[in-house]
């Protein structure tokens, strides 16, 4: 079996991978997202939403990769028997609405305002994916580091103010990009999608299959 490490604290991403037959390790990155985006804008100018999430996914995957490799370089402090995972995957999601991008709302007031703007309308949920191949060359490793973005159009129900207030009061919208879930309480407020629903949950299985395939790993080897 080829081992995979998920560089994300998202329970939804972990659950999606487990439901697909994978059993990933988890290590959360220490990336400052605002700093990464600021640096990206300084280097590349205005970032399109699909590029912003890809940049953050790359930063998270590479941050965790550096953290994993650092102790391995110090023979005196490395734990006996500790092995690097074969692959690291980082992800980041944002909702695009009216040309703006939205991550997790900062507070309940922001989430309420966001939903009053979203209701009865459609947005695009972008999820960036970045894969790093850590396998040794003799084990088929490519040294590859690559990524892509999954983009899915989401159609929102026309919620009442009371429904919005009740939903925000559950706390769920505060923990997720775009202030909604597809696999939780928010699922009742999404009338339809165009694209991969896994990408809306947080990690696109078809896209991840393509990415790992590009570094020579068969999807079924991750089961």
Give me the pLDDT at residue 51, please.
Answer: 95
Give yes or no for a contact between 221 and 23, defined as CB atoms under 8 angstroms apart. no
Least reliable range by pLDDT among 76-85, 130-139, 148-157:
76-85
Give dist(CA 47, CA 152) in Å, integer. 18
Give dist(CA 211, CA 71) in Å, integer. 27
The pTM assigned to this predicted structure is 0.92
Give me the pLDDT at residue 81, please.
Answer: 44
pLDDT band for position 100 (50/70/90)?
confident
Q: Find the mean pLDDT for residues 189-196.
A: 97
Give me the pLDDT at residue 173, please.
Answer: 96
pLDDT, the chain, mean = 93
CA distances from 131 to 17, 42, 147, 180 (A): 15, 24, 6, 26
Give me the pLDDT at residue 83, please.
Answer: 77
Q: Find the mean pLDDT for residues 179-185.
A: 94
CATH number for 4-70+83-221 (one of 3.90.950.10, 3.30.540.10, 3.40.250.10, 3.30.70.120): it is 3.90.950.10
Give yes or no for a contact between 204 and 195, defined as CB atoms under 8 angstroms apart. no
Give me the pLDDT at residue 59, please.
Answer: 97
- Residues with catalytic annotation? 92
197: Cα separation from own chain's centroid: 13
Residue 1 has pLDDT above 90, yes or no: no
Nearest to 126 by CA among 204, 53, 205: 53
Give dist(CA 36, CA 14) in Å, integer. 24
Q: pLDDT higher for 77 or 145?
A: 145
3-state secondary structure the chain: CCCEEECCCCHHHHHHHHHCCCCCEECCCCCCHHHHHHHHHHHHCCCCHHHHHHHHHHHHHHHHHHHHHHHHCCCCCCCCCCCCCCEEEEEEEEEEECCEEECCCCCHHHHHHHHHHHCCCEEEEEEEEEEEECCCHHHCCCCCEEEEEEEEEEEECCCCHHHHHHHHHCCHHHHCHHHCCCCCHHHHHEEEEECCHHHHHCCCHHHHHHHHHHCCCCHHHHC
Residue 80 has pLDDT above 50, yes or no: no
Give me the pLDDT at residue 192, please.
Answer: 97
Q: Find the mean pLDDT for residues 123-134.
A: 97
Q: Find the mean pLDDT for residues 152-157.
A: 98
The residue assigned the tokens 């605002």 is 34
Q: Which two tokens mark 139?
A: 């084990």
Q: Find the mean pLDDT for residues 136-162.
A: 96
């Amino acid at each position: 079996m080829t081992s995979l490490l998920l560089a994300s604290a998202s329970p939804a991403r972990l659950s999606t991978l487990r439901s697909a037959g994978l059993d990933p390790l988890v290590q959360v990155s220490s990336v400052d997202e605002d700093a990464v985006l600021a640096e990206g804008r300084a280097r590349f100018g205005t970032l399109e939403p699909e590029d912003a999430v890809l940049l953050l996914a790359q930063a998270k995957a590479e941050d965790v990769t550096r953290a994993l490799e650092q102790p391995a370089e110090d023979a005196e402090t490395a734990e006996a028997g500790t092995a690097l995972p074969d692959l690291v995957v980082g992800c980041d999601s944002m909702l695009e609405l009216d040309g703006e991008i939205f991550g997790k709302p900062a507070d309940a007031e922001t989430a309420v305002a966001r939903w009053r703007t979203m209701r009865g309308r459609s947005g695009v949920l972008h999820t960036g994916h970045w894969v790093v191949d850590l396998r040794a060359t003799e084990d088929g490793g490519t040294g590859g580091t690559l990524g892509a973005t999954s983009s899915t159009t989401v159609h929102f129900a026309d919620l009442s103010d009371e429904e919005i207030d009740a939903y925000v009061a559950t706390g769920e919208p505060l923990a997720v990009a775009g202030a909604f879930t597809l696999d939780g309480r928010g699922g009742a407020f999404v009338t339809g999608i165009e694209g991969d629903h896994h990408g809306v949950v947080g990690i696109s299985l078809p896209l991840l299959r393509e990415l790992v395939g590009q570094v020579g790993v068969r999807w079924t080897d991750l089961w």
